[in-house]
Structure 1
Amino acid sequence: MLSGRLSCATDPWLADHVVAGSVVFPGAGLVELVVAAGGRVGCGRVEELALVAPLVLPESGGVDVQVIVGAVDGGGRREVSVFGRGEGLGEDEAGWVRYASGVVVEESGEGSGVGVVSGLSEWPPVGAEPVVVEGMYEDLAAEGLSYGPAFQGVRAAWRRGEETFAEVVLPGSVGAEAGRFGVHPVLLDAALHVVASRGGGSGEVA
């Protein structure tokens, strides 16, 4: 079990992720927590992760979090869950809520780590058509996804059939924090913004 605390006072960039008027801890942040916890026991690859409920952050104070990684099974997989509750509650008091659950696996074989995707030796990708990204964040805000400056990282995008490609950055001072993370949640979240702007779909992200 890994324990910690989430707060907009500690990480001000969190306040720039607003959904339907509330500051919500990004799903990309839950991925980072799960990778960090799984990595401590050699299972730093996320096989699947389901978001059970939105983790809303308070205007003041913070949220206590726990990431619990289960025992390894015969296939090298471990179940993982992320819990949170308002800070300041005693150890015996209730209030823990499960916000995400999934499976992490051992970091071995060709699928582990970060590598170069085949077919991307040329950039932009061959056959991909440019996508207009100007006004994208205004459009997303109209749908209830209000991204502040820290989360506005998309600089360019292309599509090729069902594939979407994007260039994303860590805006402003957020970039100085990159070393604290495996992949900064702001960067991973930005990579999904072009997908979100397309609308529709099943709600699942590969």
Structure 2
Amino acid sequence: MLTGRLSVEAQPWLADHVVLGRILMPGTGLVEMALAAGEAAGCATVEELTLAAPLVLPESGGLQVRVVVGPHTDARRTVAVYSRPENAGDAQWTAHASGFLTETAVVAAAEWGEWPPVGAEVLSVEAAYEVFRERGYGYGPVF
């Protein structure tokens, strides 16, 4: 089990990921936590990770976080990511993600080939962040 604390004060870059007015831990962050726990347990790969609930960060204060790796079963281990408000006493842990870790490294199945593909059309993305903002997504400079 790995434990830690997340907060906007300690990790200000997290405030750069806002969805519908709430600061969310990006899904890739949950993958990174699972991968770190897997590496500590001798597993090189996150085989699968299913997101169950968003990890919403408070604007002040923080969250206790724990990543739990289960025992070996069929050449893989389970992994789960949980959080709860800090200083919450015996408050329930919220499950945010669960999945499987393996000891086997992933090997690329195929090559990408020519990029961009023949006939691809270049599209402007200059207005993309404005469109995201209009739809409730706030991405700061880190994103």
TM-score w.r.t. length of structure 2: 0.90
Partner of 2:16: 16
Which moved further from structure 2: 18-27 or 35-44? 35-44
**Structure 1 segment 182-193 matched on structure 2, within 5 A:** none
Q: Partner letter of residue 131 of structure 1? A: L
Partner of 1:96: 93
How far did residue 130 of structure 1 move?
2.2
> 125, 128, 147: which one pairs with 2:116?
125
Q: 1:95-142: per-residue Cα shift (whole Å, max 9, x none)?
A: 21111111111134xx25xx7x6134x5x4342432321111111122
**Structure 1 segment 193-204 matched on structure 2, within 5 A:** none
Higher relative contact order (Cα pairs below 8 Å, separated by 6+ residues): 2
How far did residue 8 of structure 1 move?
0.9
Q: Partner letter of residue 100 of structure 2? A: V
Q: Report the Cα distance in structure 2 between the residues aligned to 1:27 and 1:130, rounded to whole angstroms.
A: 28
The yes-or-no answer on 1:139 pairing with 2:136 is no
**Which of the pair is proportionally richer in strand?**
2
Q: Report the Cα distance in structure 2 between the residues aligned to 1:9 and 1:28, rounded to whole angstroms.
A: 20
The gaps in structure 2 that reach 5 residues or longer are none
**Which of the pair is proportionally richer in helix?**
1
TM-score w.r.t. length of structure 1: 0.64
How far did residue 48 of structure 1 move?
1.3
The yes-or-no answer on 1:107 pairing with 2:104 is yes
- Contact 1:13 1:150 survives alignment (8 Å): yes
Query: What secondary structure is seen at the aligned counterpart in 2 of 1:23?
Result: strand
- Contact 1:42 1:107 survives alignment (8 Å): no
**Structure 1 segment 35-184 matched on structure 2, within 5 A:** 35-74=35-74, 76-90=75-89, 93-108=90-105, 111-112=106-107, 118-120=111-113, 124-127=115-118, 128-151=120-143
Q: Once superposed, what is the RMSD of the aligned Cα atoms?
A: 1.8
Query: What secondary structure is seen at the aligned counterpart in 1 of 2:116?
Result: coil
Query: What secondary structure is seen at the aligned counterpart in 2 of 1:150?
Result: coil
Q: How many residues align?
A: 142
- Contact 1:23 1:57 survives alignment (8 Å): yes
The gaps in structure 1 that reach 5 residues or longer are 152-206
After superposing on structure 2, the runs of 4+ consecutive aligned residues of structure 1 that deviate more than 2 Å are: 128-131
